[in-house]
Structure 1
Amino acid sequence: MESGTVLGQDGLEPGDELAATEALRADREIRMLIDAGRTGAANALFDQLLAKVPPNLAPWTRAAILTRRAVSAWRLRRIPLALELVAEGWSDIDIDHPRGSSAADTLGRLGYLLEGIGHRHAALDVARVAVEVARTGDDVEILAHSLQNLAGTLNFRAAEQPPAEAAATFREAIALLEEGLTLVEGGRIHLALTAAHGASLAGVGDLDRAEHTARRTLEAAAPEDNRWAMSVGNWVLATVRRAQGRLTEAADHARSAVHDAESVNDPSLVQRYSQDLADICHASGDFAGEADALRRNIGARRTAVETLQEGLGQALEQRRLAIRAQRLATAAQEAAERDPLTGLANRLGLERAAPHMLHHAATAARHPWLLLIDVDWFKAVNDAAGHAAGDAALREIAAILRTECRVGDLIARWAGDEFVVLLTHPATEEEAVGHAVADRIRTAVDTHDWTAVLGTAQHPTVSVGVADGPGTFERLFANADTALYTAKRKGRNRVEPFEQP
Structure 2
Amino acid sequence: MGQDGVDADATEALSADREVRLLLDAGRSDEANSLFDQIVAKVPPGLDPWTRAALLTRRAVAAWRLRRIPLALELAAEGWSEIDTENPTGSAAADTLGRLGYLLEGIGHRRASLEMSRIAVDVARGGGDVEILAHCLQGLAGTLNFRACELPPNEAETVFREAIPLFEEGLSLVSDGRVYLALLAAYGASLAGIGDLERAERTADSALRQAEMIGSRWVNSVGHWVIATVRRKQGKLADATRHARIAVDDAEWINDVSLIQRYSQDLADICRANGDPAGEAEALRRNISARQTALETVQEGLGQALEQRRQAVRARHQAMAAQEAAERDPLTGLSNRFGLERTAPEVLERAGANGRVPWLVLIDVDWFKGVNDAAGHAAGDAALREIAQLLRAECRVGDVVARWAGDEFVVLLTEAAIDHSTSRTSSVGVAVAERIRLSVDLHDWTAVLGTTRRPTVSIGVAYGADTLEKLFANADVALYRAKRRGRNRVEVHTGA
- Normalising by structure 2, what TM-score? 0.62
Matched-pair contact (CA < 8 Å) for 2:61–2:103: yes
Contact 1:211 1:240 in 2 (8 A): yes
After TM superposition, the structure 1 = structure 2 runs for residues 50-89 of structure 1, keeping only pairs within 5 Å, are: 50-89=40-79
For 1:153 and 1:311, the matched residues in 2 are separated by 21
Give, in whole Å, the separation in 1 of the partners of 2:310 and 2:44. 24
Q: Match of 2:238, as an amino acid?
A: T
Provide the secondary structure at the position in 1 that maps to 2:137.
helix
- The 1:103/1:15 distance shift into structure 2, 3 A limit, reads same
Tell me, yes or no, if structure 1 residue 204 matches structure 2 residue 187. no
| Alignment of 1:32 onto 2:16 | no
Match of 1:310 in 2: 300
Given that residues 87 and 316 in structure 1 are in contact (C-alpha distance below 8 angstroms), is that contact kept between their aligned partners in structure 2?
no
Partner residue, 1:106: 96
Shift of 1:92: 1.5
| Distance in structure 2 (CA, Å) of the matches to 1:14 and 1:97 | 27
Flag the 1:141–1:327 CA change in 2: closer, same or farther, 3 A: farther
Correspondence 1:266 to 2:252: no
The answer to whether the Cα contact below 8 Å between 1:83 and 1:319 also exists between their aligned partners in 2 is no
Aligned partner of 2:84 among 77, 85, 94: 94
CA distance in 2, matches of 1:253, 1:174: 23
- When residues 35 and 329 of structure 1 are mapped into structure 2, their CA distance, relative to the original with a 3 A threshold, is farther
Q: 2:136 aligns with which of 123, 146, 152?
A: 146
Partner of 2:152: 162
2:387 aligned residue: none
Could you say which residue in structure 2 is the equivalent of 1:232?
222
Are positions 1:282 and 2:272 aligned together? yes
Taking structure 1 as the reference length, the TM-score comes to: 0.61
Q: Percent identity?
A: 66
How big is the shift at 1:326? 10
Shift of 1:234: 0.3
The structure 1 residue matched to 2:164, chosen from 154, 167, 174, is 174
Q: 1:95: how far off?
A: 3.1
Residue 257 of structure 1: how far off its partner (Å)? 0.2
Specify the code of the residue in structure 2 equivalent to 1:278: A
Q: How far apart, in 2, do the equivalents of 1:217 and 1:49 lie?
A: 31
Kindly indicate whether the alpha-carbon contact (under 8 Å) linking 2:69 and 2:301 is maintained by their aligned counterparts in 1.
no
Equivalent pairs, count: 318
Q: Note closer, same or farther for the CA distance 1:43–1:311 as it changes in structure 2 (3 Å cut).
A: closer
Contact 2:252 2:260 in 1 (8 A): yes
1:215 aligns with 2:205: yes
Contact 1:87 1:320 (8 Å CA) reproduced: no
Distance (whole Å) between structure 2 residues aligned to residue 52 and residue 148 of structure 1: 28
Query: Equivalent of 1:296, from 259, 283, 286?
Result: 286
Q: Which runs of 5+ in 2 are unaligned?
A: 319-496
Instruction: Output the CA distance in 1 between the equivalents of 2:245 and 2:66.
Output: 23
- How far is 1:311 from its partner? 3.8
Residues 54-86 of structure 1, C-alpha deviations (whole Å, 9 max, x = no match): 001000000000000000000000000001111
Question: Do structure 1's residue 246 and structure 2's residue 275 form an aligned pair?
Answer: no
1:295 partner SS = helix
Shift, 1:224, TM fit: 1.3
Describe the superposition over 1:98-136 as per-residue Cα deviations: whole angstroms up to 9, x where unpaired: 111000000000000000000111100100000001011
- In structure 1, what is the Cα distance between the partners aligned to 2:215 and 2:234? 29
Counterpart of 2:244, as a letter, is: A
How much has 1:149 moved relative to structure 2?
0.2
The one-letter amino acid paired with 2:139 is N
What is aligned with 1:23? 13
Partner of 1:408: none
C-alpha distance in 2 between matches for 1:317 and 1:118: 16
Correspondence for 2:181 among 191, 208, 213: 191
Q: Do the aligned partners of residues 171 and 329 (structure 1) sit closer, same or farther apart at CA in structure 2, a change above 3 Å counting?
A: farther
Residue correspondence of structure 1 range 426-437 to structure 2 within 5 A:
none
Letter in 1 for 2:289: G
Deviation at 1:322, TM superposition (A): 6.3
For 2:245, the equivalent position in structure 1 comes to 255
Q: How much has 1:146 moved relative to structure 2?
A: 0.3
Cα separation, 2, equivalents of 1:154 and 1:329: 44
Distance in 2, matches of 1:326 and 1:14, equals 43
Q: Which residue identity is paired with 1:57?
A: L
Q: Kindly provide the amino acid, as one letter, of the partner of residue 147 in structure 1.
A: L
In structure 2, relative to structure 1, the CA distance for the partners of 1:86 and 1:316 (3 Å cut) is farther
User: What residue in structure 1 maps to residue 38 of structure 2?
Assistant: 48
Note the C-alpha offset of 1:309.
1.2
RMSD: 2.1
1:241-263: CA deviations, max 9, x gaps?
Answer: 00000000000000000000001
State the AA in 1 paired with 2:176.
Answer: G
* Matched position secondary structure for 1:257: helix
SS of residue in 2 equivalent to 1:97: coil
Structure 2: distance between partners of 1:40 and 1:307: 20
Distance in 2 between residues matched to 1:133 and 1:12, nearest whole Å:
28
Distance 1:320 1:90 in 2: 16
- Give the counterpart letter for 1:223 in structure 2: M
The AA in structure 2 aligned to 1:285 is: G
What SS class does the counterpart of residue 285 from structure 1 fall into? coil
Structure 1 segments, 4+ long, off by >3 Å, are 314-323, 325-330
SS of equivalent residue, structure 1 residue 310 = helix
Out of 112, 116, 121, which is 1:122 matched to? 112
Letter in 2 for 1:128: R
Determine the C-alpha separation between the residues in 2 that align with 1:69 and 1:319.
Answer: 20
TM-aligned CA distance change 1:281 to 1:329, over 3 Å: farther
Aligned-residue offset at 1:315: 4.3
Deviations 1:353-377 (A, max 9, x none): xxxxxxxxxxxxxxxxxxxxxxxxx
Q: What are the superposed Cα offsets for residues 213-272 of structure 1, whole Å, 9 maximum, x if unpaired?
A: 000010010121100000000000000000000000000000000000001111110010
Query: What SS does the corresponding residue of 2:300 show, helix, strand or coil?
Result: coil
Residue in 2 aligned with 1:495? none
Distance (Å, rounded) in 1 between the aligned partners of 2:98 and 2:91 = 10
Distance in 2 between the 1:316 and 1:73 partners? 16
Distance in 2 between residues matched to 1:173 and 1:317, nearest whole Å = 36
For structure 1, the 5+ residue unaligned runs are 1-10, 331-501
SS in 2 for 1:309: helix
> For residue 452 of structure 2, what is the aligned residue in structure 1?
none
Q: Could you tell me how far apart the structure 2 residues matched to 1:76 and 1:315 are?
A: 17
1:87 touches 1:319 (CA, 8 Å); kept in 2? no
String of CA shifts for 1:380-435, please: whole Å, max 9, x gaps. Answer: xxxxxxxxxxxxxxxxxxxxxxxxxxxxxxxxxxxxxxxxxxxxxxxxxxxxxxxx
1:131 aligns with 2:124: no
Residues 207 and 15 (structure 1), Cα distance of their counterparts in 2 relative to 1, 3 Å cut: same
Aligned 8 A contact 1:322 1:329 in 2: no
In the aligned structure 2, how far is the partner of 1:192 from the partner of 1:174? Answer: 14
